[in-house]
Structure 1
Amino acid sequence: MRERLGRPESRTVVVWAALTAVICGLFSAALATWGAWHTARPLPDATETTALVAEVLPGYEINEVDPGAALFTFYSQPLHARDLKSLLFLDGGEYQQGATVATVRTAPRAVQQEIIALAQRRLRETGWRTFPPHVEPEVTCRADGGCTPTGGPSNISLVARRDDTALNIQSLANPSIDGTHLTVAVYRANPPAVLPAGIAGGLVGAIAGWMVFAWASRRTRRPHPAANAVPLLYAITMLFWWAPVLLTASSMLRHHRDEPHPVWHPLWEWLGQPTLSLCFVVGADCALFALALATAPRRDADPLSTAATEFAH
């Protein structure tokens, strides 16, 4: 394998090739799943959302319905080309799954547990798959960064899924600025095309990553003029591509363990995208520059001097 990769003397070249194939496969799988997500049905409109709230919370009236602008939004609006600068410079976390949100008229917060109990019962009766309520206690934080519960009221969220639709009922202990105590967010679950698209895209990307690495590795072995520059650029690429993945994946895993999720966060968020998309762009620029250097002609020995040496022997 080392011989095929053009580095028979190296003991780590196979590891680097594997890391390249894996990261390329992950990025291409994320891109494929992003495309497959757009086969999902549009977000529920105001009429469908009103009917869902009436089904789940009978007897409660809706104040307002805010239809989602798109399946995925940037600051609650569809992503546009003018948003790319903001997306790159540490604002990418605002690119999130869209939802249609209804605010519901409620009694005072003393009946919070009654509302959640009613919603759980109605969800089970109407065929929804429910998850345990998630309680966020009121906390107070100190200057050193530590936070402790105050013993005061808590925010409670209840999530459920039925077919390709998911919802999040959130009961707020303290009202928001407009006085809202209860909201119902309705959004779409991942469509069936996401999984096969991710697998196919991942395989294609991994194979392509391995082949490109192998070509560049064979091409740039000494005495290539970029024999030193290409490995340096490659190391920078791996740093900027792998660091966000390792940091974000562990954080996302803790997040999914702590809170119930009827719909898991999409694959690209597990890779730190687009939150840390600037890292990806820097790594991609270094990779393209390295490949461009790899196309330079090799500085092999002069064939005439080689022939003379062979004749002397």
Structure 2
Amino acid sequence: MVSDLVTSSTAADPRLLRAYRRLLRAYPPGPRRDELLDTLVESAPPGRRRPRLREMVNLLWHGSRARLGRPKSRGIVVLTLLVAVAGGCLGAGVANWVGWHAVEPLPTGAEAAEISETVFPGLTVWGGGEAARVVSQSDGEGIEYGYAVSWVKHTAATRDVAAYTAGVRARLEAAGWTVTGVDPPLDQTNVVDADPADRSESFTATRGRLGLRFNDYYWAGRPAYDGDGNATYYLWQEPPSWLLTVTWLGFLPGAFLAWLLTGWASRRLEPNPGITAPVAVGAVLAVLCVVPATLLALSSDGRADETAAPSWQGLAFSLRTPAVLFGLLAALLLFLAAVQRPPRRLPQWQRQATRGLDLARRRPVAAVALAAVTSLLTGLGLYALVTQQLLPGSCTPAVPSGIVDPPSARTSDKARVFIDRQATEDQRNLAQAAIWRGMGGSPEFAGDPRAPGFLSAYCSHGRVDSEVAERLPSHWSVELTSPGLFRGLAAEMMAMPGVVAVQHVPD
């Protein structure tokens, strides 16, 4: 056999021989490679220099089936390819996350102060600070670059909207910014009962990868508690050009790792046909967790406004939940593969390493049920469920006082405003109006101690005694447009009667 192979190989064109050998690497190492090489060389017509396309596809297809431990299965290669695509998508998401963390953060310190002084010279500026790289849009329809909002209360100068906006543009251009777009003046032609004195002007500018949007709103005739508008600027960091390349380079190692793990699991499960079908269904579900979400991200350009980002630029953000589901399913399936009896061809020490899991191997259905129930109970938080429902009085509530802004809430867009339970309805209405003035959007009031979510402001687990709960302050949950707005909100709220605390809530 060897002498025949040497003779055939010598007679064949060296280029054809090298091509066949590369293709035969799809098969597992062993004598089968030599046998196939001999057959292919003998059947090749004289003068052929490269394999035919049909031969290439056939060798790769059957070689992959052999590699995956199921040479008689036609579906294993398709399933493995799908899992590899899902793994590649997750790999791209991980690379995207790493790439975003290499992007410079928003300006802070002296650089941020220089921008604020250019836009609002001589005024007290609230907001600014840090922001997440990518955030969800407020309507939940897409993602956008994380941005920091800075604002000032109106003065006589800022109420002259056109003149002040023109001055801001001139100062920014002198500081090296390029104005990229100017919005048309406010048009309220079709607005019922519109005040003709209302004014609004906006424009966008860039400097390097920094983007800036300026807005000046003046609503004449509004009552003092509602406020007559403000002047703001949004600042965000656009990603570098190399982020797309880094993101999709991460696809390759993710796909390769998923292929290897799927092949290993397939070979482990091959002696046990009864467990193969449930595992295959689980693998398909895992793929469905990731691939549609990735395709949806790729199909969206997200360009609703200046800060909105194409969804692929925030792929790591878009795939957070699908990645968790995929990871749980993958861990369960790999566990089932690990507990199977090792093939006899493995070395003795490898067989001994997994022999302690024979009980799970002998009862695979019970193992699946046990793993599923364990995962479910873990996800629901069994401990929190028991303590919250079965142990009244197990929590002693901690009532915040004053301004509470812990370091862990630095990039959080969530806040709470606490108001004394004895506050009058007018005081509550004035406080809620102040939340809007302080750039705290979408406040949700919780005043009933029995309502869902009321006690979560005081206890992360356990239950509060009903008499104690009745005396706790009511509170608003507030969504901040950007994390740095908390300081301005706190200053606005602590001046209101009845307000006892303003808390920046960590993510």
Same fold (TM over 0.5): yes
Q: Equivalent residue for 1:166?
A: 211
CA distance in 2, matches of 1:117, 1:191: 30
1:227 shift after superposition: 0.6
In 2 relative to 1, CA 230–61 (structure 1 residues): closer, same or farther, beyond 3 Å? same
In the alignment, residue 332 of structure 2 is paired with which amino acid?
A: F
CA distance in 2, matches of 1:223, 1:261: 53
Pairing 1:37–2:63 present: no
Q: Deviations over 1:248-294 (max 9, x none)?
A: 544x42x22x32349656734576244xx2x4322211111111212
CA distance in 2, matches of 1:164, 1:28: 26
- 8 Å Cα contact 1:20-1:213 kept in structure 2: yes
In 2 relative to 1, CA 116–234 (structure 1 residues): closer, same or farther, beyond 3 Å? farther
Pairing 1:201–2:246 present: no
Normalised by the size of structure 2, how large is the TM-score? 0.42
Which consecutive unaligned segments of at least 5 residues does structure 1 have?
76-90, 140-148, 301-313
Please give the residue correspondences for 1:75-224 in structure 2 after superposition, counting only pairs within 5 Å.
97-99=146-148, 101-103=150-152, 105=154, 112=161, 123=172, 126-133=175-182, 150=191, 158-172=203-217, 179-190=228-239, 194-195=243-244, 197-221=246-270, 223-224=272-273
- 8 Å Cα contact 1:28-1:205 kept in structure 2: yes
CA distance in 2, matches of 1:108, 1:15: 67
- 8 Å Cα contact 2:265-2:337 kept in structure 1: yes
Q: Equivalent residue for 2:318?
A: 272
Identical-pair percentage: 22
Pairing 1:238–2:287 present: yes
Secondary structure at the aligned position of 2:129 is classed as coil
In 2 relative to 1, CA 20–194 (structure 1 residues): closer, same or farther, beyond 3 Å? same
Q: Equivalent residue for 2:329?
A: 286
- 8 Å Cα contact 2:158-2:164 kept in structure 1: no
Q: Equivalent residue for 1:81?
A: none
Q: Equivalent residue for 2:340?
A: 297
In the alignment, residue 206 of structure 2 is paired with which amino acid?
A: R
1:43 shift after superposition: 2.9
In the alignment, residue 325 of structure 2 is paired with which amino acid?
A: V
Secondary structure at the aligned position of 2:276 is classed as coil
- 8 Å Cα contact 2:154-2:231 kept in structure 1: yes
In 2 relative to 1, CA 235–177 (structure 1 residues): closer, same or farther, beyond 3 Å? farther
Which of 226, 229, 236 is 2:278 aligned to?
229
CA distance in 1, matches of 2:87, 2:200: 40
- 8 Å Cα contact 1:27-1:268 kept in structure 2: no
In the alignment, residue 204 of structure 1 is paired with which amino acid?
A: P
1:205 shift after superposition: 1.4
In 2 relative to 1, CA 207–158 (structure 1 residues): closer, same or farther, beyond 3 Å? farther
Q: Which moved more, 1:216-225 or 1:149-158?
A: 149-158
Structure number with the bigger relative contact order (C-alpha 8 A, sep ≥ 6) is: 1
1:8 shift after superposition: 5.2
In the alignment, residue 241 of structure 1 is paired with which amino acid?
A: V
CA distance in 2, matches of 1:181, 1:19: 53
Secondary structure at the aligned position of 1:63 is classed as coil
Secondary structure at the aligned position of 2:275 is classed as coil
Q: Equivalent residue for 1:79?
A: none
Secondary structure at the aligned position of 1:68 is classed as coil
Greater C-alpha Rg: 2
Q: Equivalent residue for 1:259?
A: 305
In 2 relative to 1, CA 35–155 (structure 1 residues): closer, same or farther, beyond 3 Å? farther
Aligned-pair RMSD on alpha carbons?
4.6
- 8 Å Cα contact 1:60-1:105 kept in structure 2: no
In 2 relative to 1, CA 100–228 (structure 1 residues): closer, same or farther, beyond 3 Å? same
In the alignment, residue 169 of structure 1 is paired with which amino acid?
A: F
1:162 shift after superposition: 1.7
In the alignment, residue 28 of structure 1 is paired with which amino acid?
A: G
